[in-house]
Structure 1
Amino acid sequence: MRISLPSAHRERIVPLTGEQVRALAAAMPARNQAMVIVQAGLGLRLGELLALRVQDVDHVARTVRIEWQFAPQSKVRTEPKTRRSRRTIPLPQVVATAIREHSAQFPPAADGTIFTTRFAGPYRHDYYGSLIFSAAVERARLPKGTTSHDLRHHYASVLLMQGESVIVVAERLGHENATLVLSTYGHLMPDSEERTRRAVDDAWGCAPDVPQATTQRSDLREQAGFRR
């Protein structure tokens, strides 16, 4: 008897570029612009973004602690479903600045919630994702079907393009292991052939020639918005 297993094929992720993320933020209402920067700069799930509080952000240590989430259809904080989802993420300067500027213009709620509606309450997944976010996607002329989860893909792709290991990326995203990162983003890992050549050449003390293609790939990375 022959059993057919489900296909393991995954559609290749085409992450948003830095330019597209900036265009999306600019297309958002003023109250929501920082939400794009924070989600793209920390790789948060939507529920984690909506539940983020002032007390979760340590500007001195330059870290963000993810302890809570809002489940779909809920405005009540709950713990993340997995142990790995509770994590500490390095706070990039661009995100710290976005949070400071947002909080100065739109003060946090009494419980510390950073991103609130004009009625000082938290956002629900459907209201933010289906109405506010989707409208901004259209205004920014991003690919049809772009969702807030694509900002998480952008974050993962940026880390991989800058040489972070799949283990570190999995930790930043709150995945249980690196397998999902490999299966989802493995095709985005750059210069793997060149790293193999360089590893052997370095071990033998040989200075390899730098082919023109390598320079071209670096130029493409700059154009895509992956800048150091």
Structure 2
Amino acid sequence: MRALLVATPDQKYKTLFLTAIMTGARQGETLGLKWADVDFDRKQIHINRTFNSGRFFPPKTKESVRAIDCPPTLLHEFRLWKIASPPNSNDLVFANEAGGPMNYSNMVQRYFHKALRDAKIKRIRWHDLRHTYARLLLCQGENIKYIQSQLGHSSPTVTLNVYSHLMKNENQEAACRLEDTIFSHGSKMVADIKKEVTP
């Protein structure tokens, strides 16, 4: 992901790619984002619409209407891009040169695939950025309900069905935390066990 961003010198597309990487928003949600949806105070973006096939639509489900937490790096890039971006009548964060909604196919072909080539990354789909976001949150051990809410899935079950193959089957850290919870405060049993396993 870092290599992809380094290979994207254009500020608009660098901010666009960073948004996809750091929020897991769907392609249409990202292209439909308006400046009014960027909440700098709460450090979130609000998903209120999607742009597909040349039209704006409401999000696909009620759970898709959501607020996604933004890290400081993304908020910083939003601030820089808001200053640099030309105003447009639609208030779009990522408008085309004429000020209208961006064409997804053109963006992918001209900028995303080029950045992948320049970064020497094998070709991936735009949607793979969303999968990467989900995978990283899972690897960090984030709560599945939180991940579901950020991705806009209809339920945690959907998230588990899509991403359960990425979850570890072993977690020694969790087992140790359980032990600490049960036997904390100087338990004699834990002290005796530690004596036994100490070389």
State whether TM-score is above 0.5: yes
The AA in structure 1 aligned to 2:70 is: L
Summarize the alignment of residues 40-51 of structure 1 with structure 2, pairs less than 5 Å apart: 40-51=21-32
Question: Which residue in 2 is equivalent to 1:217?
Answer: none
1:139 partnered with 2:118:
yes
Query: Which structure carries more helix by proportion?
Result: 2
Equivalent of residue 101 in structure 2, options 96, 113, 122: 122
Cα drift, residue 96 of structure 1? 0.5
Cα drift, residue 29 of structure 1? 4.9
Where 2:67 maps in the other structure, the secondary structure is strand
User: Larger deviation: 184-193 or 155-164?
Assistant: 184-193
The AA in structure 2 aligned to 1:32 is: Y
Computing the radius of gyration from Cα coordinates, the structure with the larger value is: 2
Q: Percent identity over the alignment?
A: 30
How far apart, in 1, do the equivalents of 2:174 and 2:31 lie? 41
Where 2:171 maps in the other structure, the secondary structure is helix
Question: Which residue in 2 is equivalent to 1:99?
Answer: 78
1:27 partnered with 2:1:
no
Which 5+ residue runs of structure 2 have no aligned equivalent? 185-189, 195-199
Cα drift, residue 60 of structure 1? 0.9
Q: Structure 1 residues 180, 38: closer, same or farther in 2, change over 3 A?
A: same
The answer to whether the Cα contact below 8 Å between 1:160 and 1:190 also exists between their aligned partners in 2 is no
The answer to whether the Cα contact below 8 Å between 1:134 and 1:147 also exists between their aligned partners in 2 is no
Equivalent of residue 138 in structure 2, options 155, 160, 172: 160
Deviations 1:115-173 (A, max 9, x none): 122222221221112332122212211123x0221211121122222221112111100
After TM superposition, the score normalised by the length of structure 2 is: 0.84
Deviations 1:67-97 (A, max 9, x none): 01101x21x3210111111101112111111
1:189 partnered with 2:170:
no
The AA in structure 2 aligned to 1:129 is: V
Kindly report the root-mean-square deviation, in angstroms, between the aligned alpha carbons of the 2 structures.
2.1
The answer to whether the Cα contact below 8 Å between 1:25 and 1:37 also exists between their aligned partners in 2 is yes
1:88 partnered with 2:67:
yes
User: Larger deviation: 47-56 or 127-136?
Assistant: 127-136
1:55 partnered with 2:43:
no
Cα drift, residue 204 of structure 1? 2.5
